[in-house]
């Protein structure tokens, strides 16, 4: 059922909270505020709710990744090969799975707003003054709402340099690559951040030749070095050509491919180019100049520790404020901002504790990477006496059963107190496995202890058993 629209012909509606955007950050803010008795309205410029996470980013790319995984599992399974069963699908067929997931997500998230009687105002939001938002639809119709508090959750989009022709049918960014209908056999990915590494894994699993171009010294340098080394080795072993410390000179589009000219003098010609070098916050067109908010050169809105902009009653959350640019982080930031404004408005009894912003990183390469807490480099630089425990998946019974033996679990802990300081995982289901470590690390002392993993009985065979193996491995290093 479609939500009631607020039009300019009606009187301007007053709300406690106006949320701009219905991605994870906007949804988190809206639900937290409405559950605590505040009146809420959301402004969304797209036809369907969910933001880029649902329609262009996380959901479609991870659904595509899983479809590719299912296909490769069939082709690598000896039981199927012995009976002549193979699966070979091109991108358009593999994307059909993503479409069904997106539809299910939109239906579910629309129901959240329906059940909580949160009106959805359609149109591009723009500030008229610090408390008034105008929404303009493509047909020119307008609606105006006012809020005591504003939460900006407009997300981000791929960064597009002006000298790269993204209208060319062989040049893509991370949004448009999901709609590619070309049956290409080779691809150059410029940008080796999270998005670049994820797509390099996916396309290589489709037996597409991949050049992965990085302008830094190493991949994903915010992660633990040992984990990154494992990823680099695995990508190269699969056949991905990784080139570090390279800078783009220019992009030459041809009828039969794209040539990437690098400042080092190299020329890389492949069927298509995926530009995955950064993102831009969706802060333009919001009329921020009307309220004195100035985004940075990448469109990110500066905020303080409470996610407030320079205008205290205007908050910003999610990808529009920059890193970590994760859907999980955006949702928690939205809840955090709503909790803070509830306290600011004097509702001390209902604001409750602020949601934790200590979140794990999840990188959906093949295999996955996930991490929470400190890295070895950070602990070394801080002169923290730590020890390391490892569990290699090739020694875990569940991994042997499933055939997914690539990877490891790594626990960093304090040598004296045994406090768990960081957990890092590379391998199948890493993004799920990490949550056991996250739960223990969130406990107050002395419950946050390596001894939990040693003394707890885990189901056998499971991947969770890797925690016991890693804990014993590290504990034995102390003696």
What's the rounded Cα separation, in Å, for the pair 316 and 337? Answer: 8
| pLDDT recorded at residue 355 | 61
Mean pLDDT over all residues of the chain?
92
Kindly state the average pLDDT of the residues 114-143. 95
Q: What is the pLDDT of residues 393-443, one digit of tens each?
A: 999 999 999 989 999 999 999 999 999 999 999 999 999 999 999 999 999
| pLDDT recorded at residue 357 | 64
3-state helix, strand, coil in the chain (%, to 5): 35, 25, 40
For residue 263, the Cα-to-chain-centroid distance in whole angstroms is 30
Kindly state the average pLDDT of the residues 66-95. 74
What's the rounded Cα separation, in Å, for the pair 114 and 110? Answer: 6
Q: What is the pLDDT of residues 25-64, one digit of tens each?
A: 999 999 999 999 999 999 999 999 999 999 998 999 998 8
Quick one: CA torsion of 447, 449, 451, 453, rounded to 10 degrees?
90
User: Given pLDDT bands bounded at 50, 70 and 90, which one contains residue 352?
Assistant: low
Q: Which domains does the chain have, with CATH numbers?
A: 13-57+94-157+280-351 (3.50.50.60), 171-277 (3.50.50.60), 367-478 (3.30.390.30)
Does the pLDDT at position 321 exceed 50? yes
Kindly state the average pLDDT of the residues 451-461. 95
| pLDDT recorded at residue 351 | 54
User: Given pLDDT bands bounded at 50, 70 and 90, which one contains residue 5?
Assistant: very low
Whether omega before 446 lies within 30 degrees of 0, making that bond cis, reads: yes
| pLDDT recorded at residue 84 | 66
User: Given pLDDT bands bounded at 50, 70 and 90, which one contains residue 391?
Assistant: very high
- Report whether 219 contacts 197 (CB < 8 A): yes
| pLDDT recorded at residue 9 | 42
Q: What is the pLDDT of residues 165-175, one digit of tens each?
A: 999 999 999 99
Kindly state the average pLDDT of the residues 234-249. 96
Kindly state the average pLDDT of the residues 144-155. 97
- Distances 171 to 16, 60, 164, 200, 266 between C-alpha atoms, Å: 44, 19, 8, 16, 19
Does the pLDDT at position 3 exceed 60? no
User: Given pLDDT bands bounded at 50, 70 and 90, which one contains residue 8?
Assistant: very low
φ, ψ of residue 267 in degrees (nearest 5): -130, 120
What's the rounded Cα separation, in Å, for the pair 258 and 249? Answer: 13
What's the rounded Cα separation, in Å, for the pair 8 and 12? Answer: 7
Least confident of 7-21, 235-249, 364-378, 388-402: 7-21
Does the pLDDT at position 209 exceed 70? yes
Kindly state the average pLDDT of the residues 262-277. 97
The beta-strand segments (E) located in 376-415 are 386-392, 407-414
């Amino acid at each position: 059922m479609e939500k009631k629209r607020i039009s300019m012909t009606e009187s301007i509606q007053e709300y406690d909270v106006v949320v701009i955007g219905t991605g994870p950050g906007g949804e988190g803010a809206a639900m937290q505020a409405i559950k605590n008795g505040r009146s809420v309205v959301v402004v969304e410029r797209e036809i369907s709710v969910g933001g880029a996470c649902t329609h262009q980013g996380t959901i479609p790319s991870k659904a595509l990744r899983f479809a590719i995984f299912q296909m490769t599992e069939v082709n690598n399974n000896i039981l199927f090969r012995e009976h002549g069963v193979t699966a070979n699908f091109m991108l358009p067929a593999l994307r059909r799975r993503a479409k069904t997931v997106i539809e299910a997500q939109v239906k579910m998230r629309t129901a959240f707003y329906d059940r909580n009687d949160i009106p959805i105002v359609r149109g591009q939001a723009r500030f008229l003054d610090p408390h008034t938002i105008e929404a303009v639809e493509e047909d020119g119709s307008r609606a105006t709402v006012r809020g005591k508090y504003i939460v900006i959750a407009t997300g981000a989009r791929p960064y597009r340099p002006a000298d790269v022709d993204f209208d060319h049918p062989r040049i893509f960014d991370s949004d448009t690559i999901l709609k590619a209908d070309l049956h290409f056999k080779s691809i150059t990915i410029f940008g080796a951040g999270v998005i670049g590494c994820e797509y390099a894994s996916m396309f290589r699993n489709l037996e597409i030749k991949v050049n992965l171009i990085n302008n830094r010294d190493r991949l994903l340098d915010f992660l633990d070095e040992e984990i990154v080394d494992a990823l680099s080795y695995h990508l190269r072993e699969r056949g991905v050509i990784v080139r570090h410390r390279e800078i783009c000179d220019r992009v030459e589009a041809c009828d039969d491919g794209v040539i990437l000219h690098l400042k080092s003098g190299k020329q890389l010609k492949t069927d298509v180019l995926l530009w995955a070098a950064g993102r831009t916050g969706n802060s333009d067109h919001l009329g921020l100049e009307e309220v004195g908010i100035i985004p940075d050169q990448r469109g990110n809105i500066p905020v303080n520790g409470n996610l407030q902009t320079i205008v205290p009653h205007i908050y910003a959350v999610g990808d529009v404020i920059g890193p970590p640019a994760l859907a999980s982080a955006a949702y928690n930031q939205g809840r955090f901002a709503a909790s803070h404004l509830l306290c600011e408005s004097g509702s001390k009894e209902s604001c409750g504790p602020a949601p934790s912003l200590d979140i794990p990183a999840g990188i959906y390469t093949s295999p996955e990477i996930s991490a929470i807490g400190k890295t070895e480099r950070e602990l070394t630089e801080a002169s923290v006496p730590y020890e390391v425990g490892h569990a290699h998946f090739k020694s875990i019974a569940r991994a042997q059963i499933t055939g997914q033996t690539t990877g490891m679990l790594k626990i960093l802990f304090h040598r004296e107190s045994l406090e768990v300081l960081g957990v890092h995982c590379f391998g199948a289901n890493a993004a799920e496995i990490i949550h056991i470590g996250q739960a223990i690390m969130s406990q107050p002392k002395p419950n946050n202890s390596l001894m939990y993993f040693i003394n707890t009985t885990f189901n056998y065979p499971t991947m969770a058993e890797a925690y016991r193996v890693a804990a014993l491995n590290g504990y034995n290093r102390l003696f």
